[in-house]
Amino acid sequence: MVTVDRPMVINSPRYPAQSKPPLGAVRLCDGVYLGDVYASKDSNFVFANKITHVINCAGKEIENEEHTLMKDHFGLKGFTGIKFLTFYWLDDDRQLIFDEEDRVPIEIVKFVDEALDQGTSVLIHSMRGQSRASVVGILYFMESFQWDLLKTLEYINSRRPDLEIRANFLQQLQQYTKRKQIPGSKRRLQRSDE
């Protein structure tokens, strides 16, 4: 059973005021968080939720935050710091998120699974966490739970009701699901290092 968490709001003078108040992050499921720039910069949030992996979907706008103070605090054998998967996507209708060979989805699923297999957490974020990061969360849930796009959108929207996914990104998700349903194709991503 998934419990609904109240969104954690992070206020910081480091970032200019936006037209919408910051949300911070929401828990999509155990070990998977969807957030904005404020969540990615909040060491207390990262530490409290044992986040060891971060997917930055806005690398052109947001630098990766090392959170070096936590290296000694997780108590994880071999932990050397936060691991990042950074995409330099723009929040733009011309932005391509999914490649035809589906290398990006494979990379995302493997990265999230690596964190969960270690018993730690992953934060997926972009500037506001409403479009680019949401698409990554949707992709992960479609693959992990074998949900269709509509069910996944409904679930993610129940966790984060203020989604503003660009039409182009939704179109790319639809094309991705169609590619997976081609007769003879593998319905699920291969997670091995083939």
* HEC letters along the chain: CCCCCCCECCCCCCCCCCCCCCCCEEEEECCEEEECHHHHHCHHHHHHCCEEEEEECCCCCCCCCCCHHHCCCCCCCCCCCCEEEECCCCCCCCCCCCCCCCHHHHHHHHHHHHHHHCCCEEEEECCCCCCHHHHHHHHHHHHHHCCCHHHHHHHHHHHCCCCCCCHHHHHHHHHHHHHHCCCCCCCCCCCCCC
What does the pLDDT look like over 140-159, one tens digit per residue? 999 999 999 999 999 999 99
55 within domain boundaries: yes
**Can you give the pLDDT at residue 56?**
96
pLDDT score, position 90: 94
Residues 45-67, mean pLDDT to the nearest whole number: 89
**Whole-structure pTM value:** 0.80
Asked if residue 185 belongs to a domain, the reply is: no
Q: What is the predicted pLDDT for the residue at 183?
A: 55
Question: Is the pLDDT confidence value at 3 over 60?
Answer: no
The amino acid sitting at 10 is: I
Q: What is the pLDDT of residue 73?
A: 53
Give pLDDT, residue 9: 39
Look up the domain containing 166 and give its range. 25-179
| 145, amino acid identity | F
pLDDT at 80: 62
Nearest 5°: phi and psi at 62?
Answer: -125, 125
Which class for 168: exposed (0-12), middle (13-18), buried (19 or more C-beta within 10 A)? middle
What's residue 67's pLDDT?
Answer: 58
Q: For residues 180 and 148, give the distance between their C-alpha atoms in angstroms, rounded to a whole number.
A: 11
Token pair 């037209």 in the structure block, residue? 19
* Residue 8 covered by a domain: no
**Is 121 part of any domain?**
yes
What mean pLDDT do residues 109-128 have? 96
Q: Is residue 7 part of a domain?
A: no
What does pLDDT average to over the chain?
Answer: 81
Q: Is residue 102 part of a domain?
A: yes
* Structure tokens that stand for 150 in this block: 């509509």
- Say yes or no to pLDDT of 32 above 70: yes
CATH number, domain containing residue 126: 3.90.190.10
Percentage of the chain lying above the pLDDT 90 cut: 59
Mean pLDDT of 121-137: 95
5 within some domain? no
Over residues 162-184, mean pLDDT? 87
State how far the Cα of 27 lies from the Cα of 34, in Å rounded to an integer. Answer: 6
Does some domain include residue 41? yes
**Hey, which residues does 122 pair with through a beta bridge?**
32, 53
Please state the domain count of the chain.
1
Per-residue pLDDT reduced to its tens digit, 17-31? 444 555 789 999 999
